[in-house]
Amino acid sequence: MSTIMIVEDDPKINQLLQNQLEKYGYHTVNVEHFDRVMEVFKEIRPDLVLLDVNLPKFDGFYWCRQMRQESNCPILFISARDSKMDQVMALENGADDYITKPFDYDVVMAKIRSQLRRAYGLYAPQEGERTVEVAGLKLFLERMELMMHESKVELSKKEALLLEALMNQYPRVVSRERLLEKLWDEQFVDENTLNVYITRVRGKLKDMGLEGAVETVRGSGYRLRAVWEDGQ
């Protein structure tokens, strides 16, 4: 049974969506406190998200970006805002589709089934799980997990992308520019944001007993060091 997370602040639409989804055998989870969207998302790990644009606290574009750092699950916007710019912004921020209100529930259900098939079913990629390994340190990209022997930590999507770049280039240096491009494509971000993720990755490695595994190369970038292998 697929789990659908509904992030919609209109109680009437929320209930109608829930009734329709449950009629077709889906398990639904409604967000009730809109400052806890990511807490619910991480807790239930939904198979698909229905997300409104106009929400209390932060808008749907913000939450979509946050979700994309954690998961590749399908995200469908459902919104009364029907401008081309809103639809472009939704897709640019990581959404898979944009449905304008008032909508036909049969169309919504068809789009949900289509996205679930593409992500997990008939049309989902069938290749084996992508992994990267350096001297026994193994990164599982789809699971966003890092393992070394019996030690394991969970990663965010950005942390996994950063480690993937460092591990693929091991033992060479990866420039800050290359890391910024890989993690944020062509979006403009402050370089301090990269520093934050480097610190987070170092923290995850330290939790595994691999302190010092990410080395700063002044004026160039960063590189992975197999400190667990060379004893340094």
Write a three-state SS string for the chain: CCEEEEECCCHHHHHHHHHHHHHCCCEEEECCCCCCHHHHHHHHCCCEEEECCCCCCCCHHHHHHHHHCCCCCCEEEEECCCCHHHHHHHHHCCCCEEEECCCCHHHHHHHHHHHHHHHHCCCCCCCCCCEEEECCEEEECCCCEEEECCEEEECCHHHHHHHHHHHHHCCCCEEHHHHHHHHHCCCCCCHHHHHHHHHHHHHHHHHCCCCCCEEEECCCEEEECCHHHHCC
pLDDT of residue 16 exceeding 70, the answer is yes
pLDDT of residue 125 exceeding 70, the answer is no
pLDDT of residue 128 exceeding 80, the answer is no
Q: Between the CA of residue 126 and those of 118, 120, 121, 130, what are the distances in Å? A: 11, 10, 10, 11
What does the pLDDT average to over 17-37?
92
d(CA 100, CA 52): 10
Question: Is 0.85 topped by the overall pTM?
Answer: no
148: β partners: 137, 151
pLDDT digits (tens, 9 = 90+) for 170-212: 999 999 998 988 887 656 667 788 899 999 999 999 999 999 9
The overall average pLDDT reported for the chain is: 88
Q: Tokens 């990755």 map to which residue?
A: 201
pLDDT for position 231: 53
pLDDT for position 112: 93
Q: Given pLDDT bands bounded at 50, 70 and 90, which one contains residue 94?
A: confident
d(CA 125, CA 207): 33
